[in-house]
Structure 1
Amino acid sequence: MADCDLCGVAIPTVCPVKVFSPKFENSYPEGVWKGLCGGCLEKAKQAYDEATESKAAGTFGKCDLCGTKAQLQDVEVDIPSFSKGYEIERKKICMKCLEQSSEAYENKDELLGEHH
């Protein structure tokens, strides 16, 4: 079992997304792998598409996925809840992480080993 790095849901397999984390830049100069569930990956892809179409500037802050201080885009993530089923929470993600998530979304079938 693995936990999604955005919503925390535990599923058998998550889709790997390679992000550059300044916290680990000396140990892992090529980047680190984060795992996203299918729902979060799809939401990140939608946010990336919207941001590139509208050329949105976003807000400045710390990315919830990699920890970089940069311009951030809002991603609405479904957080599991025992009382309500799920709650919608806005996560702030930088464009580099959204771009990597978009690439992972395009290749998710090969990465997860699913064949249709």
Structure 2
Amino acid sequence: MLAIEQEILNFINNTYQLMGWPGVVVLMAAESACIPVPSEIIMPFAGWMLIKERALAVTFTIAAGAYGALGNTIGSAIAYGVGMWGGRPFLEKYGKYVLISRHDLELADRWFIRSGSWAIFA
């Protein structure tokens, strides 16, 4: 398991080094678009970038949060668009690339049927 965690950390670190702050936007967008990139690691790394750059003023901290929020919004819009225009056929065809199987879709269907409209809030 440690090797996987190290690979994720290396990937995030390399993205930050290549792209800088736009890398935060890209990674957070990927996370919100249901691609398994953990935001629990992305944003602390953004904080570490602030420390490395000695940019500890409140404005830089707010900017880091804004980059994360922008990425989250973009990723959520992508996920919404996939659901709105592609729907289930799109997920059945391409979901395997983001670790969504047909079995996962069937489990979600049963959960929504059982829970009704409350499932949307969960």
The TM-score, its normalising length taken from structure 1, stands at: 0.23
User: Max radius of gyration: which structure?
Assistant: 2
Q: Which has the higher helix share?
A: 2
The TM-score, its normalising length taken from structure 2, stands at: 0.22
